[in-house]
Structures are given as C-alpha cells and as structure tokens.
C-alpha cells in the first residue's frame, strides 16, 4: 500500500523529468535516487555548473534551467556552481578555440547580472549558490597532480571538441585538459546526486561519475538536454555566434527573432521551450507535412508562446500585432501602429530647419558609420515618414516632430523633441 504510492510518485517524477531530455545516465539510477529521497525526506542535490563569462542568458540556457526548475518543483535542491576558478582557464567546451581567461572583477560583475536573470526561472529558495574557487583554490600542487594521475590523455582526447581540434591540427593547450578535471571535482565537492547540462557536457559528466566513485561517493546521474539550435538553425545558440534570443530582449524582438528561425527547427523549439504536450507537437508537425497547417501559423503560435513566457500575454499579443502590421501588411512608417524606438533629437540640432538624413541617423546612433548609412540609403533601406529616401544628400525637415524613420528591415525610430 505504502509502497505502491511511493512507486507511483517515483514514476510520476520520472515522467516529468524525462520530457525533452537527450539522454539520462541512467534512468534506473535516477529512479533509485528519487526513491531514496522520498523515503528519507532528503531532497536530491542537483548540480548545474555555469560559466560566468557570458552574463546574458538566452533561450539556449533556459532549456537546462527549465529542467532544473522542474526538479525544484518536485522538491529537490539545486546546487548552482559559478565556475569562477574555471573561468580563469577558459572552457574549451564546444569550441574550436581557446577562450581568453577572465579577471576576478569581471567574474563578480558577471555573476551578479547572471543571477538577476537566473531567478526569473529558478526558485531562489531551493537554490544553493557556490563558487568553485572555494575548493579548487585550496588544492595543493600535489593534490592536483594526484587528481590528474587518475586519467589518461587518451581519455581526454576522446572528447569530441578535443579530438576535432587535434585532427584539424588546431592548438590544444595543456591547461585546457584540466577543465574536465576541475568540473568533475566540483561534483565531488558538492556531493551531487544529479548533474544537468547539454549533451556537449557528456564527457565531463562521465568523468565526474568515476571521480566520485574513487572518492567513495555514489556516482551522480547525468541528465543531458539537447543543444538548442540558434537562429541560423544549424549552429548551437550562442552569444558569440550572434544567433541567439536573449531572455531580457524586448517582446517585439523576441517575437521577431522566433519568426526568423528556419521552419525545420520549429519542432525542437516547441519541445524545449514550451510546455505544449509532446503528442500535440507531433500532431502539429504532421499537419504541416500534410498541408493542413500553414508553417507560418505554427511559427506564430510558437513565437507567441515563447514571448508570453517572458513578458506575459498582453505584451506578447502586442508584439504579434506589431509583427503582422510590419511584415504581413507592410504598413509604412507613416502609420502609428508600429512599435517605435523613441530617440531624442540631438541637442545641437534644435533650431536647425533641416538636416541631412545620413547625418541625422548617425547622430542618433542608427549605425556604426556614415558609410554604412550611405549604403543603406543607396540600397533603399531608409524610409522617412513613409517615403523611401533614395538620395544620400536628402535633407530631412525638422519642422514637424516626431519624425518616423525606418532603418533597414526591422528598426523603427521615432525622433522626438527632448
């Protein structure tokens, strides 16, 4: 009787946690850990390591964070590790290049901005934050050597990114080999029951399991989420590739960026970023193939759901309306129902009757250089109050403000008096 209820709960938790995962090593062990946790009333310790070099969170990060949140909702404890010490090395994960190391101040500052964002998803009450410098900085050289002696170069070279670089004859520095060791040692230090991350972390997770066993602990369960593709649909979402959707972005940009993903990765986005049931997602995909559901309609719903998650339904609906006005109905800048970015008229222009388009746009910060703006004009990418400007010498009258301008496809400016 007791036992049946327990097993039901174990299965319920497993079902929740399984959704969207790429791999769990192993599911049986996870079930066992949940069972023990329920019996003893001791929550599982679920580890996530974060690299403090990229303080702007994007949707790619939310895939793993969302999964952590599910653990919390099931009563478990998240152990969030800031890799301050690791950041001084430069994580080679998924990279073809060595990362530059970070300074202490940068790391602190990054960590602060990081948590402002992380707590939009995680429950601070069930989150324990640790810096790995706490235990890594006190290791003696002898201890480090001993740690390193447990693994072989060949094992480390098994790692995909290392072996790629090795075969491509791209330099791999010796210190980079320590990254997996440090991360694994983190698991030992915090006695992790489960570790979460992307599939690119698999090697590190497995290494941690071995190291924990060597230290007399039970091996952690490794739970890997798929890597979210970026806007290009091919590479992983990342800031450095500039193919990301930031969680702090405006509703309009968030919606628009969602609409710019290739049709082919919609399914992935649905599973990893929304809570639409998996059966329904399969149904959506089937109907697109059949031709009974327009891909654009499916994508609009996705964009709406994602935007709602971070901005609420009112803002999301407004973003959708704006998108339809600008891109479906192609409303010109003469219209008022477009989301404009307000910019003040530069001070030294007040009193002037008119100004050259290029100069005005430059002063207002619409582009990095005047050459770029000239190019935009010549290519027909500039519109002022609904009129496309073709001449780079065009002078804009400053008599009637606000001035509505379109710069390129997606920037809309409204120049106002201060």
Partner RNA sequence: GGGUAGGUGGCCGAGCGGUUAAUGGCGGCAGACUGUAAAUCUGUUGGCGAUGCCUACGGGGGUUCGAAUCCCUCCCUGCCCA
Question: Which residues of this protein are in contact with RNA, per CB under 7 A?
Answer: 166, 169-172, 232-233, 242-243, 252-253, 255-257, 259-263, 294-296, 299, 323, 327-328, 330, 362, 368-372, 374-376, 379-381, 408-410
Residues 230 and 60 sit within 8 Å (Cβ to Cβ) = yes
Residue (132 or 243) nearer to RNA, CB: 243
Question: First-to-last CA distance in the chain?
Answer: 72
Question: Please, what is the minimum distance in Å from the beta carbon of residue 97 to RNA?
Answer: 8
Residue pointed to by tokens 């079902």: 15
Residues 96-101: contacts with CB under 8 Å, at least 24 apart: 96/161, 96/164, 96/165, 96/168, 96/170, 97/170, 98/171, 98/173, 98/176, 99/53
Residues 255 and 316 sit within 8 Å (Cβ to Cβ) = yes
Cis? peptide before 33, omega within 30° of 0: no
Question: Please, what is the minimum distance in Å from the beta carbon of residue 297 to RNA?
Answer: 9
What whole-number distance in Å separates Cα of residue 256 and Cα of residue 414? 19
Question: Please, what is the minimum distance in Å from the beta carbon of residue 262 to RNA?
Answer: 4
Residue (127 or 243) nearer to RNA, CB: 243
Residue (5 or 170) nearer to RNA, CB: 170
Question: Please, what is the minimum distance in Å from the beta carbon of residue 413 to RNA?
Answer: 13
The closest alpha carbon to 138, from 99, 185, 187, 80, belongs to 185
Residue (134 or 359) nearer to RNA, CB: 359
Question: Please, what is the minimum distance in Å from the beta carbon of residue 152 to RNA?
Answer: 18
Question: Please, what is the minimum distance in Å from the beta carbon of residue 240 to RNA?
Answer: 9
Residue (6 or 331) nearer to RNA, CB: 331
Residue (132 or 322) nearer to RNA, CB: 322
Residue (169 or 292) nearer to RNA, CB: 169
Question: Please, what is the minimum distance in Å from the beta carbon of residue 357 to RNA?
Answer: 13
Q: Which residues make Cβ contacts (< 8 Å) with residue 288, sequence separation at least 6?
A: 263, 294, 295, 298
DSSP 147-163: HHTTS-HHHHHTSHHHH
What whole-number distance in Å separates Cα of residue 196 and Cα of residue 45? 11
């Amino acid at each position: 009787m007791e036992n049946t209820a327990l097993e039901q709960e174990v299965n319920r938790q497993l079902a929740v946690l399984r959704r969207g995962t790429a791999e769990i090593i192993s599911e049986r062990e996870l079930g066992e850990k949940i069972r023990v946790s329920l019996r003893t009333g001791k929550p599982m310790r679920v580890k996530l390591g974060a690299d403090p070099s990229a303080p702007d969170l994007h949707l790619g990060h939310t895939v793993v964070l969302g999964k952590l949140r599910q653990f919390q909702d099931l009563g478990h404890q998240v152990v969030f590790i800031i890799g301050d010490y690791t950041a001084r090395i430069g994580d080679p994960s998924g990279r073809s290049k060595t990362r530059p190391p970070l300074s202490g101040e940068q790391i602190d500052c990054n960590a602060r901005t990081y948590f402002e964002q992380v707590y939009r998803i995680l429950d601070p009450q069930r989150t324990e934050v640790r810096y790995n410098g706490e235990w890594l900085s006190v290791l003696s050289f002898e201890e480090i050597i001993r740690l390193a002696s447990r693994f072989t170069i060949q094992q480390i070279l098994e790692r995909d990114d290392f072996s790629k670089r090795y075969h491509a004859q791209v330099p791999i520095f010796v210190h980079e080999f320590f990254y997996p060791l440090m991360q694994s040692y983190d698991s030992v230090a915090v006695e992790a029951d489960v570790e979460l991350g992307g599939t690119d972390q698999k090697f590190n997770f497995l290494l941690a399991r071995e190291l924990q066993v060597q230290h007399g602990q039970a091996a952690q369960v490794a739970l890997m989420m798929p890597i979210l593709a970026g806007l290009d649909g091919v590479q992983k979402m990342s800031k450095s590739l500039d193919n990301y959707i930031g969680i702090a972005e405006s509703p309009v940009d968030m919606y628009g960026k969602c609409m710019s993903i290739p049709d082919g990765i919609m399914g992935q986005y649905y599973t990893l970023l929304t809570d639409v049931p998996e059966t329904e997602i399969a149904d959506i995909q089937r109907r697109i193939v059949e031709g009974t559901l327009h891909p654009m309609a499916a994508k609009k719903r996705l964009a709406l759901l994602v935007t709602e998650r971070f901005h609420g339904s009112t803002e999301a609906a407004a973003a959708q309306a704006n998108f339809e006005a600008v891109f479906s109905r192609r409303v010109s800048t003469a219209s008022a129902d477009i989301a404009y970015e307000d910019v003040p008229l530069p001070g030294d222009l007040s009193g002037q009757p008119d100004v050259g388009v290029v100069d005005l746009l430059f002063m207002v910060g619409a582009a990095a250089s005047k050459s770029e703006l000239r190019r935009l004009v010549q290519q027909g990418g500039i519109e002022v109050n609904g009129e496309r400007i073709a001449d780079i010498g065009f002078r804009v009258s400053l008599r009637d403000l606000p001035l509505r301008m379109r710069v390129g496809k997606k920037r809309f400016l409204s120049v106002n008096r201060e």
